[in-house]
Amino acid sequence: MKQRNKIITLLFIASIINYLDRAAFSVAMPYIKDYLQLSPAEIGVMLSSFFFGYALFNFVGGYLSDIYGPRKVMAIAMLTWSLFCGLTGVAFSYIILFIIRVIFGMSEGPVSTNINKVITHWIPIHQRARAIGIANAGNPLGGAIAGPIVGFLIIMWNWRVAFIILMSLGFVWTFFWLKNFTDHPKDHPKTQPIEIEEFETALHNAPVNHDTQTKLPFRFYLTQPLVLATGMAFFAINYILYFFLTWFPSYLSMAKGLNIAEMSIASSIPWLLGSVGMVMGGAVSDYIYKKSGRLLFSRKLLIVVGLIASSICICIAGIVDSVTFAVIMMSFGIFFMYLAASSPWSIISDSISADKVGGVGGFVHLLANTSGMIAPILTGFIVQYSGGSFISAFVLAGIVGIFGALSVALFVKPINSNKKAQPLTDTLTNLRKQ
């Protein structure tokens, strides 16, 4: 087995643990709500608490990975978030739980950016979208198993014990990560010579992107339309994701009257289709690139088509009365959302020099995950002040998805480092003149 395949497997497992720990809170929320006597608005704030720390440390974690390498950053992140996942189970007040969830989010912040960094260092460019898709397919799979696992643990013991048990998984993963991973393939004693040769050959034969070959300042990238528009699309993807992640279990419980066992099973179905979509998205993107020879086009196509289809399905899911049909449409909505989800990472990895991809990827992830602060809170207020109706919240998620698709279609174009950095506002002005 090639060493890079072992690395992808470890990243896949890390993604499972990441979303298992994250989604567990939403599954347990009906019990936490009763324990702390929370209103819908207060539930929204609590569900958003994770993202206050998470969004900021997307950027910080990516920047640190450029300095210290993903080996150290990933290990520290996994150990810390696992600890605070366990501490969730011992919280006894609203404020204490809020603080724990903020620090939990800070600890998970570096993960996605570091996964992208690892793949940039280990995987040839023509296989990167597929690798990103496989590595991140653990996210929806972790979300899928969270319902049955956490639901079972709650039924067997209680919601506090569930979080303490989940804590141990991260400690075990860190041991295998430190044992099997190095920041660069050449540094690992078990890397096969053919792996290094394949990587270097693919890098030599890849389409020349001047920007990836030139040492450009970090600030240059932060004003580029490609980076900002990709961040907008990622914001839309994550808005849909976090709306689903934080509120769909409560929607099934509060609006549809499902019990914990029924809710756990129903909420896991969209995650399973999402996992398929994540793997397919990367593979399809790489296939389109192979057939067309147009790298950026293959990434953009998946985002635009995936987000539009996802938005339509989610709007329908919020309007229908049938629980079964709502779950089916939400499942397809999450499938198409995940079909698009690997492509923003691929755009950044393909377009940014390797020495800046961690920091720039972290910046994009910061923009994207501000949606995690907005979506749960906004949904909570919508539900509370619409008499318990979720329809407007579903429709809003669909509208955000459409705007994300448009941002990519209009503004994601190759970076030209020979020209002065052009802010997105200048690009908008030029479009109006055309």
C-alpha pair distances (Å), 172 with each of 80, 82, 329: 13, 10, 37
**Chunked mean pLDDT (size 10), the chain, 434 residues:** 78 90 84 84 83 78 80 91 90 89 88 81 74 81 84 87 91 90 71 63 50 62 85 92 84 83 84 86 82 85 94 93 91 93 81 74 80 85 86 93 93 70 48 46
Who contacts 340 (Cβ-Cβ below 8 Å, separation ≥6)?
233, 237, 281, 302, 303, 304, 305, 306, 307, 310
Place of tokens 């209680």: 158
Distance between CA atoms of residues 161 and 153, nearest Å: 7
Residue 214: other Cβ atoms inside 10 A:
11
Give me the pLDDT at residue 187, please.
Answer: 66
Indicate the CATH number of 3-203+215-427 among 3.30.565.10, 3.40.50.150, 3.40.50.2300, 1.20.1250.20.
1.20.1250.20
Give me the pLDDT at residue 215, please.
Answer: 64
Give me the pLDDT at residue 192, please.
Answer: 66
Give me the pLDDT at residue 213, please.
Answer: 44
Q: Contact 140/369 with Cβ under 8 angstroms?
A: no
> What's the full length of the chain, in residues?
434
Give me the pLDDT at residue 330, please.
Answer: 93
Distance between CA atoms of residues 300 and 279, nearest Å: 17
C-alpha pair distances (Å), 203 with each of 60, 137, 208, 360: 28, 25, 9, 21
Give me the pLDDT at residue 194, please.
Answer: 66
342-392 pLDDT, tens per residue? 788 778 877 777 677 777 877 887 788 788 788 888 988 898 888 888 899
| Residue boundaries of the structural domains of the chain | 3-203+215-427
